[in-house]
Amino acid sequence: MKNHPVRTYRSAEDFPREEHLAWRIAEVATDAVPVQAETEEMIVNRIIDNAAVAAASITRRPVANARAQALAHPYGPGAAVFGVPGRFSPEWAALANGVAVRELDFHDTFLAAEYSHPGDNIPSILAVAQHTGRSGADLIRGLATGYEIQVDLVRAICLHEHKIDHVAHLGPSAAAGIGTLLGLDTETIYQAIGQALHTTTATRQSRKGEISSWKAYAPAFAGKMAVEAVDRALRGEGAPAPIWEGEDGVIAWLLGGPHAEYSVPLPGPGEPKRGILDTYTKEHSAEYQSQAPIDLARRMRDRVGDLDQIATIVLHTSHHTHYVIGTGSSDPQKFDPTASRETLDHSVMYIFAVALQDGTWHHEHSYAPERAQRPDTVELWRKISTAEDPEWTRRYHSADPNEKAFGARAEITLKSGEVIVDELAVADAHPLGARPFARDQYIAKFRTLAEGVIDQAEQDRFLDVAQHTPELTAEELGLLNFTVSDEVLARAPKLPKGLF
């Protein structure tokens, strides 16, 4: 990997295009280095993972609405939409599938200077692959780039510090991945990256306070914008430049300011794109920093015994966990029993209380209104607080993968005065955890989430196709989708009509 210094340049300064970060990324996208076997295998795992969480969310209102928007745009050749037959305009297919993947906050993650869900790259790149008649091997190359660029930007550039939503790294990574998929030249990809970044920078209010369904739409919208940016760039339309480094660019006015400097690592020429191998998926449907606390609560449950005897619980954890999903956020909604699922998903206090009571976690039952409003849960929930521990913050930001941690130390004080302490650095499903996910676990997750949604024969067919993604022909790539019965689709709430 080569580190590229990135800073603001005055318009009068000499700053050759070949030194722009967008150009450097485009050069990585055009490097036709072969995809290594372990990277290819993990890409297939994440295709399965995305489909699993999309199946579980297929009848939820935000997903049904996004699907309805896509279905209003039939197109040929077009791209497939989860749950239904037919082909649709690729940018709308990317949106619909992106919302389905993101709705339950249950797919892969990468955390460093910024946080991300790199699997958000898959819907847009796959939609373009299906529309343009690319092969499975082409798709694998495009996804390797999308993951690589997202991971590299997340390693280097913190967005949340400046209250910019993390999807600002997704637009450029998806555009780069589409560029690789299509075999575009550096100039075209460069322009698409600039447009994608320019149209996908937004504030983090989508993940603050009263969190709405836009949390699921935001990355899907970024993927849709990436598709449109590539389309415009192919037609010869340009982008603001230099998009990151310009005097009125992203760094100067949205991030660290005109005197800030970042160092972005990117693969050198001929270096394999391995970024996906540093990412990890979720066993539980909750914010990633909640994964280890859920496993920790399950582990501590028997030691505590009678939960009515708990006086207080303090979770000592990282800066991010404390301020984003903990009491450091100062969000009263994180203690509201009538809060939305999206808000409860971002309350580690709620999540720890339910996991401690139930000894398990379920993507639907654990968030049900009757579950959140149980009096004994509310009482326990309000006994829980978080505190930043500098050591957990240091480990959160560690560049050493063997030391990097997203967990917490729980101190449970009983009414007797006894204190029960335990800690867990990484979730059980993490590559360094007690039960790391491999192909069998991804398939099991798919089977679990598809139960009662996708019939058995269709599950078998989809899994067979997905596991042969690298060998799929252009004609077969359209089969990389699942359909469900009309009876299943009818479970979705009745939708009001929009514009389309």
Q: How far apart are CA 199 and CA 187, in angstroms?
A: 19
Q: Are 199 and 229 in contact (CB under 8 A)?
A: yes
Taken in order 26, 27, 31, 35, the sign of the CA dihedral is negative
The DSSP code for 346 is T
421 bridge partner residues: 411
Closest among 121, 96, 94, 104 to 57, alpha carbons compared: 104
Closest among 254, 277, 344, 308 to 416, alpha carbons compared: 308
Q: How far apart are CA 241 and CA 9, in angstroms?
A: 11
Q: Which amino acid is at 77?
A: P
Tokens of 148: 């690589």
- % of the chain residues with pLDDT over 90: 93
Question: In the prediction, which pLDDT does 284 show?
Answer: 94
- State mean pLDDT over 115-121: 96
Question: In the prediction, which pLDDT does 397 show?
Answer: 87
- Who's near 368: CB < 8 A, 6+ residues apart? none
Q: How far is CA 283 from the centre of its chain?
A: 14
Closest among 168, 181, 179, 111 to 142, alpha carbons compared: 181
Question: In the prediction, which pLDDT does 6 show?
Answer: 98
Q: Mapping DSSP to helix (H, G, I), strand (E, B) and coil, where does residue 91 land?
A: helix
Question: In the prediction, which pLDDT does 108 show?
Answer: 96
- Alpha-carbon Rg for the chain, nearest whole angstrom, is 22
Q: Which string of b and e fits 386-412 if b means at least 16 CB within 10 Å? A: bbbbeebbebbeeeeeeebbbbbbbbb
Q: With 0-12 CB in 10 A as exposed, 13-18 as middle and 19+ as buried, what is 493?
A: exposed
Q: Mapping DSSP to helix (H, G, I), strand (E, B) and coil, where does residue 224 land?
A: helix
Q: pTM for this structure?
A: 0.91
Q: What is the mean pLDDT of the chain?
A: 96
Secondary structure element (H or E) that encloses residue 340, with its range: none
- Who's near 272: CB < 8 A, 6+ residues apart? 33, 34, 35, 36, 39
Backbone angles phi, psi at 357, to 5 degrees: -75, -45
Question: In the prediction, which pLDDT does 471 show?
Answer: 98
Q: Mapping DSSP to helix (H, G, I), strand (E, B) and coil, where does residue 247 land?
A: coil
Q: How far apart are CA 20 and CA 353, in angstroms?
A: 48
Q: Are 383 and 248 in contact (CB under 8 A)?
A: no
Question: In the prediction, which pLDDT does 115 show?
Answer: 87
- State mean pLDDT over 350-366: 95
Backbone angles phi, psi at 420, to 5 degrees: -105, 125
pLDDT beyond 90 at 260: yes
CB-side neighbour CA atoms (13 Å) of 166: 23
Secondary structure element (H or E) that encloses residue 490, with its range: none
The DSSP code for 483 is B
Q: Which amino acid is at 183?
A: G
Q: How far is CA 134 from the centre of its chain?
A: 25
Residue 78: pLDDT band (50, 70, 90) is very high
pLDDT beyond 90 at 360: yes
pLDDT beyond 90 at 399: no
Whose structure tokens read 């619909």? 96
Residue 265: is the preceding peptide bond cis (ω within 30°)? no
Q: Are 196 and 226 in contact (CB under 8 A)?
A: yes
CB-side neighbour CA atoms (13 Å) of 188: 19
pLDDT beyond 80 at 287: yes
DSSP class per residue in 105-151:
T-S-BEESSSEE-GGGHHHHHHHHHHHHT--HHHHHHHHHHHHHHHH
Q: How far apart are CA 306 and CA 357, in angstroms?
A: 10
Q: Mapping DSSP to helix (H, G, I), strand (E, B) and coil, where does residue 193 land?
A: helix
Question: In the prediction, which pLDDT does 206 show?
Answer: 86
Question: In the prediction, which pLDDT does 29 show?
Answer: 98
Question: In the prediction, which pLDDT does 480 show?
Answer: 98
Question: In the prediction, which pLDDT does 390 show?
Answer: 97
Q: How far apart are CA 225 and CA 159, in angstroms?
A: 19
pLDDT beyond 80 at 250: yes
Number of separate helices (H) and strands (E) present in the chain: 21, 10
Q: How far apart are CA 11 and CA 481, in angstroms?
A: 47
- Who's near 163: CB < 8 A, 6+ residues apart? 203, 204, 205
Residue-wise pLDDT for 184-242, tens only, equals 999 999 999 999 999 999 998 987 777 788 989 999 999 999 999 999 999 999 999 99
The Cα angle at residue 313 between residues 312 and 318, in degrees rounded to 5: 145
Residue-wise pLDDT for 336-357, tens only, equals 999 998 899 999 999 999 999 9
